Amino acid sequence: AKEDCPVLGVVHKSYTPLQNKEAFGFFDPIVGEKAAVYHTAGVLRDGERIWLLAKLPEPIVVVGDDVADKYLLLSNSHDGKSAVQIKFTPVRVVCNNTLTLALSDGPTIRVVHGRNMQEQLREARRVLGIVEKGFKNLATAFQAMCKVSLDSAKLDEYLAAVYPAPNDPDDPKAAKRVQENRQWSRYFFEQGAGNNRRGVQGTLWAAYNGVTEWVDHRKLKRTDERRLESVWFGDGYFVKARALRIARATLGAAAS
């Protein structure tokens, strides 16, 4: 029946579908070498996007017992709207915040749908050899964030950069959303899970996690599916990417 075969999208004639088995098979050599273990898999929007998480050994130790587990996230779309993506996704254990790396930082692998897709997947396997280097660099950044203290004024500067003023100053709803995002992120900077620990409290690391806790767990979404889609692929992901990018810029300014 037609309703049993919904149309997921319209694609170009050069589009080559990547079946779920092939997409998940990308991880098989990694798991076979015991460099990762399969963790969770699922679908979004009635099968328009599939995803798989694989966990890597040896978590990132930020400070004391504040650690972040290391995951790889693979996603594949069946609507033609996005490429196959592999993202490097640490998860802070104390609060389950997803600290997904920004696209501009380089460790996201993108495999475009096309005739040479299998060749690109083989290249992606090669690129995975740099994953530990990427996580090592990230660990260094997280640890450095713990050494930068933020007073109230500096925190305001950070949150203003993460949540910039709306383009239309006469849009009261947009202004209210920005104000709410800043206020709640400040609240979780002070009261968020793990943010009152020694070595974390009052630091740039706490500020970054204040944003991620608000985006991942507290900001209202209509369904769990919509929340997950936002956190990994949508608005929430890009807010967290911006928060990380600005935190790194703050580190650079503090070191100069």
Q: Tens of pLDDT along 242-256?
A: 999 999 999 998 887
Residues 6+ apart with CB under 8 A from 119: none
Cβ atoms 174, 166 nearer than 8 A: yes
Domain match, 138 and 204 both: no
Domain match, 128 and 8 both: yes
Domain match, 157 and 110 both: no
Domain count along the chain: 2
Q: pLDDT-based confidence at 104, cuts 50/70/90?
A: very low
Domain match, 248 and 211 both: yes
User: Which token pair is 133?
Assistant: 């280097």
Of 143, 175, 202, which one is at a domain's C-terminal end? 143
- From CA 119, how far away is CA 130, in angstroms rounded? 18
Instruction: Print the domain residue range for 205.
Output: 144-255
Residues 6+ apart with CB under 8 A from 245: 102, 104, 105
Q: What is the pLDDT of residue 16?
A: 64
Domain match, 148 and 217 both: yes
Task: Return mean pLDDT, the chain.
Answer: 83
Cβ atoms 116, 122 nearer than 8 A: no
- DSSP notation for 89-148: EEEETTTTEE-PPPGGGS--EEE--STTHHHHHHHHHHHGGGHHHHHHHHHHHHHHHTT-
Of 90, 115, 143, which one is at a domain's C-terminal end? 143
Domain match, 242 and 191 both: yes
Q: Which of 196, 164, 157 is nearest to 179 (CA)?
A: 164
Please identify which residue in the block is written with the tokens 């790889």: 72
pLDDT tens column, 157-216: 999 999 999 989 889 999 999 999 999 999 999 999 999 999 999 999 999 999 999 999
Domain match, 91 and 170 both: no
Of 83, 118, 143, which one is at a domain's C-terminal end? 143
Q: What is the pLDDT of residue 200?
A: 98
Domain match, 99 and 6 both: yes
